[in-house]
Chains A and B, each alone.
Chain A
Amino acid sequence: GNSVTQMEGPVTLSEEAFLTINCTYTATGYPSLFWYVQYPGEGLQLLLKATKADDKGSNKGFEATYRKETTSFHLEKGSVQVSDSAVYFCALSDSNGANSKLTFGKGITLSVRP
């Protein structure tokens, strides 16, 4: 079945540091890949997505590239801010059927200190 593996957390960085959060996946079809972010006390928000191999998703300074050869979708940001402190979830959607439900990783908590 489908699965998503995220690096172990939590991650603590200083403001303006470089961020990488690793995500690898296993899927039977040709999934779309997503990063969702959950700020304290709020619901999940779509951060970025990529629907096919070599696509790069980007938003708010975050980027992730769909790497089919390594089955990865690592999240990066060049300079993090305190406001980026949140929980980040990698997810995939496999539309080989009509459902296309999301399969999530466990999430990783990012804390950015001033």
Chain B
Amino acid sequence: DTGVSQDPRHKITKRGQNVTFRCDPISEHNRLYWYRQTLGQGPEFLTYFQNEAQLEKSRLLSDRFSAERPKGSFSTLEIQRTEQGDSAMYLCASSSGTGERYGYTFGSGTRLTVV
């Protein structure tokens, strides 16, 4: 298993454009999380899936953001009408069960720059 994969690694987009990121979790992990990390800050929780069900969304996830996890495998995070404030590193993590026993495995992230 190669761990959690995220694609693309970097994305530069113009303000107002839509972008989509992909996360492939560890295959046997049923839980998948999206976080956002801005410069000089720790990651902040955005949303969480258990299998294909999206069970929680942070207030940080405005209506321009949507996430899916069809069939409980890979996940996508889409940002519509991007704004400069959306520039950040978007991290995906997966876990088996609650993650507290074995930890959460993070991907390398997608760095978004909105110009």
Contacts and interface: CB of A to CB of B under 8 A. Distances in A.
Interface of A: 4, 32, 34, 36, 42-46, 49, 51, 89, 91, 93, 95, 98-107
Nearest to A32: B100
Contact of A104 (B40, B44, B56, B105): B44
B103 A101 contact: no
Nearest to B46: A101
A32 B93 CA distance: 17
A99 B42 contact: no
Contact of B42 (A49, A101, A104): A104
Nearest to B42: A104
B37 to A, nearest CB: 8
A56 to B, nearest CB: 16
A10 to B, nearest CB: 11
B80 to A, nearest CB: 24
12 contacts: A4-B42, A34-B103, A43-B106, A46-B104, A93-B98, A95-B98, A100-B98, A100-B99, A100-B100, A101-B33, A102-B104, A107-B42
B3 to A, nearest CB: 9
How many of chain B's residues touch chain A, expressed as a range?
20 to 34
Contacts of B104: 46, 93, 102
B51 to A, nearest CB: 12
A43 B109 contact: yes
Contact of A99 (B4, B40, B48): B48
Given A42-B108, A51-B100, 10 more contacts: A43-B4, A46-B104, A95-B100, A99-B55, A99-B56, A100-B100, A101-B45, A102-B45, A102-B99, A104-B43
A-B pairs, 10 with minimum CB distance: A104-B42, A43-B108, A32-B100, A44-B106, A46-B103, A100-B98, A101-B45, A43-B106, A99-B56, A104-B43
Contacts of B40: 106-107
Most buried by B among A51, A100, A102, A104: A102
B56 A44 contact: no
Contacts of B100: 32, 49, 51, 93, 95, 100
